[in-house]
Structure 1
Amino acid sequence: MGTAWDDTADDAALVQACRRGDMQAFECLVRRHQGMLLNVAFRVTGVYEDACEIVQDAFLAAWRKIDSFRGESSLSTWLTAIVINLSRSRRQQLSNRKQHEAYSLDAPLSGGDNDLLPDPPSASPSALHQLEEAELRQALDGCIQALPHEFREALVLRDMRDLPYTEVISALGIREGTLKSRLFRAREAVKDCLKRAVASP
């Protein structure tokens, strides 16, 4: 039976315990990192259900491959790299599946007459402000999702997760110049996209 681990234990001690088969240590690592990994997976895939599956698969892979973690980067970077690789695999699977799907022209586009409309927002100024903020966040999310995958991955890890350049380079398996180029192009694309979104009625 494993040691009773609390959330103050450092990752290195937890990894060593995991290598000895201590499931409680692994559960502590899951609690510590799952929120961050889910955020990364969701930002990369844009689909919450896919992100949840990817994170679950990432933790299974991490448990199986814990002996391959050498500590050259932080554990969170190693886990993030697993999530990015699984996201890429999922994207490729979906791309292959879409090429082989057939669509019915007779199928309804929505659920039908039973679809319920959401309640209208309150007319109070604070509700209007919240709506504007929500629309801006939605526009930003749309702009990020519209980026090519390699740009989106770089932007999510560096600007949204605030990882240091060295960890992003390690997680994505690219060179510093490539990362800087992708970040520049991603930021410019998001800026242009947001300008168009704000300018449109």
Structure 2
Amino acid sequence: MTTLVATGRFAVGESESERNSATPPAKNSDAELVERHRQGDASAFVEIVDTYSSLLFNVAFRMTGNREDALDLHQEVLIKIYRSLHRFRGQASLRTWMYRITVNAARNRARWWSRAKRGTTYSLDAAEENRRPPSECVADPKPDPEGRAYGAEIRVRVQQGLDHLSAGQRVTVVLRDIEGLEYREIASTLGISLGTVKSRLARGREALRRQLADLLE
């Protein structure tokens, strides 16, 4: 079921399946999985991917603005994580470390820079499918077509609003108001101060609220 929920100081449309997948399931600890990976246990990396893949895809999608680029970036990120996981030392949480890899990979892509400076046109059908990770692209159980169309429109508008933010504001808003990271985790992920996180978030929220004013009335 699609609902309109408040995150931070603006509204975001999200599906029931997305809310249910927001918190990674508690299985083996991250430290245990990393150590098993170092010792050559291939199943450890599979567990890490099972736990965090959807979260990383969501960030990739919000930063690239479309499913094709997000899938490409997502695969690139998973390869980077696999190749460098043995060097992870736990100075930040595993989630923060992987978010940092995702953000840095997005910044290094020309597509990311071009889309940070201009809006992107979407269709409602594409938004309904592309908003979710591949494993969650299932039909919305809500039987009301009008309700589904409204939820899709909200997601389209939010993504278009994000596309118009500056690169710094966009990633900060995504990590805080969509992914739910704490301020210190965002600062660690982006390599910036807490003050910079708060100022970028305030400016990004204000700009996004202006663009979504008609939805928030």
Query: How many angstroms does 1:130 deviate by?
Result: 3.3
2:149 is the alignment partner of 1:131: yes
C-alpha distance in structure 2 between counterparts of 1:91 and 1:161, whole Å? 24
2:42 is the alignment partner of 1:23: yes
Query: What's 2:58 paired with?
Result: 39
Query: How many angstroms does 1:59 deviate by?
Result: 1.7
Identify, as 1 or 2, the structure richer in strand. 2
Alignment deviations for residues 70-109 of structure 1 (CA, whole Å, 9 cap, x no partner)? 21211011001000000011136875xxxxxxxxxxxxxx
Query: How many angstroms does 1:198 deviate by?
Result: 8.0
C-alpha distance in structure 1 between counterparts of 2:47 and 2:147, whole Å? 39
Query: What's 1:167 paired with?
Result: 185
TM-score (norm. length: structure 2): 0.69
Query: How many angstroms does 1:27 deviate by?
Result: 1.0
Query: How many angstroms does 1:146 deviate by?
Result: 1.3
Query: What's 1:78 paired with?
Result: 97
TM-score (norm. length: structure 1): 0.74
C-alpha distance in structure 2 between counterparts of 1:178 and 1:92, whole Å? 25
The amino acid across from 1:137 in the alignment is R
2:97 is the alignment partner of 1:87: no
Identity %: 38
Tell me, what secondary structure is at the counterpart of 2:90? Answer: coil
Q: Which structure has the greater CA radius of gyration?
A: 1
Runs of 4 or more off by more than 6 Å in structure 1?
A: 196-199
Alignment map for 1:36-185 (pairs within 5 Å): 36-91=55-110, 95=114, 126-185=144-203
Query: What's 1:122 paired with?
Result: none
Query: Contact conserved, 2:106 with 2:112, CA < 8 A, in 1?
Result: no
CA RMSD of aligned residues (A): 2.2
Tell me, what secondary structure is at the counterpart of 2:71? Answer: helix
Tell me, what secondary structure is at the counterpart of 2:28? Answer: coil
Query: What's 2:5 paired with?
Result: none
Query: Contact conserved, 2:165 with 2:207, CA < 8 A, in 1?
Result: yes
Query: Contact conserved, 1:14 with 1:25, CA < 8 A, in 2?
Result: yes
Query: How many angstroms does 1:156 deviate by?
Result: 0.4
The amino acid across from 2:159 in the alignment is D
Point out where structure 2 has 5 or more consecutive residues left out of the alignment: 1-25, 115-142
Tell me: higher relative CO, structure 1 or 2? Use CA pairs within 8 A at least 6 residues apart: 2
| 1:76–1:178 CA distance, 2 compared to 1 (3 A) | same
Number of residue pairs the alignment of both structures matches: 164
| 1:197–1:148 CA distance, 2 compared to 1 (3 A) | farther
Query: What's 2:209 paired with?
Result: 191
Tell me, what secondary structure is at the counterpart of 1:65? Answer: helix
The amino acid across from 1:28 in the alignment is E
The amino acid across from 1:191 in the alignment is R
C-alpha distance in structure 2 between counterparts of 1:88 and 1:146, whole Å? 16
The amino acid across from 1:81 in the alignment is R
Tell me, what secondary structure is at the counterpart of 2:91? Answer: coil
C-alpha distance in structure 2 between counterparts of 1:174 and 1:140, whole Å? 25
Query: How many angstroms does 1:23 deviate by?
Result: 1.5
